[in-house]
Amino acid sequence: MEVSQIMVEPITIDKDQRLSYAMELMEKKNCERLVVVQDGEVTGILTYADIADRLSVSKVVAVSIGRLHVSSAMSDIVITVNDTDELTDVASLMLERGMSGCPVIDKEGKLVGIITKRNITALMDRFTDVKVDEIMTTKGLLTANPAERLIKARLEMLNAGFSGMPVLDGRRVLGLLTEKTVAKAMARFSSEVPDKYRANQIRQLRVVDAMIQQPPLVQQGASIAEAAKMMLDADLNALPVVGEGNSLIGIISTTDFTGFAANKFKVPKKEE
């Protein structure tokens, strides 16, 4: 399967637009990344993760999001793929480089689309015989508690390269923290708190201020087709996998689905 078969139309923005406008555009278009274009050339990518990282930088906290530009938060290292590239190869590239999506160009170098892990997730609807516990992540899980500082939890997500962090009471799942919810919480804080108080009060933001309460949960015996549908319907990139009493046993994400695609849509062999 070629990239052109599942890529979607890119949403573009100029680097000199306000960061607040970028967030409004992402919400309106229901997308998680914007392609930054200057004079017809792709010059960057802006994601919710980029926005969250920018708004949590100490020297920027005192500056309102309404005064920041896209250029201050975007990633200017952009890896593009061709529309004729094989999907499994692109999935491998995404995992190798830690990318959640990349612009697609044609043979003339023109921007023609974007491919994301969520596009790959949509392909899981045909795999009704593959179970969640065959590809879910169980090692190195990140979790948070509701009272934890939001900046600390976000830094842990960034360092681990995770897009979702279950919020627990003991082992029971209470909520889910995502890059999108963190970015939105930081943007609200930036807009609502006066400049002179912002630097001090940022430390008061807690995980509970940003988490999704009572997120969708999936059982380990469900099919990945079911899990993918739940994820896409809820506009999430990760789902907690739970056992009895909603106790956390793993997480399944668009990254796991991308790994499945990179492995030519085969379940990886279990380690001895």
Global pTM? 0.91
Average pLDDT over residues 10-35: 95
Specify the residue for token string 């400049």: 195
Report the chain's mean pLDDT, rounded to a whole number. Answer: 91
Domain pair 3-125 / 127-262, same fold: yes
Residue among 133, 92, 161, 101 at smallest CA distance from 227:
133
Q: Which amino acid is at 235?
A: D
The CATH number of 127-262 is 3.10.580.10
* Rounded Cα distance, 10 and 104, in Å: 9
Q: Reply yes or no on domain 3-125 having CATH 3.10.580.10.
A: yes
Angle CA 132–138–143, to nearest 5: 115
pLDDT tens digits, residue range 47-79?
998 998 888 765 555 577 888 999 999 999 999
The widest CA-to-CA distance across the chain, in whole angstroms, is 57
Q: Which stretch of 61-65, 140-144, 209-213, 237-241 has the lowest confidence by average pLDDT?
A: 61-65
Lowest-pLDDT choice from 59-63, 97-101, 213-217 = 59-63
Domain regions of the chain by residue span: 3-125, 127-262
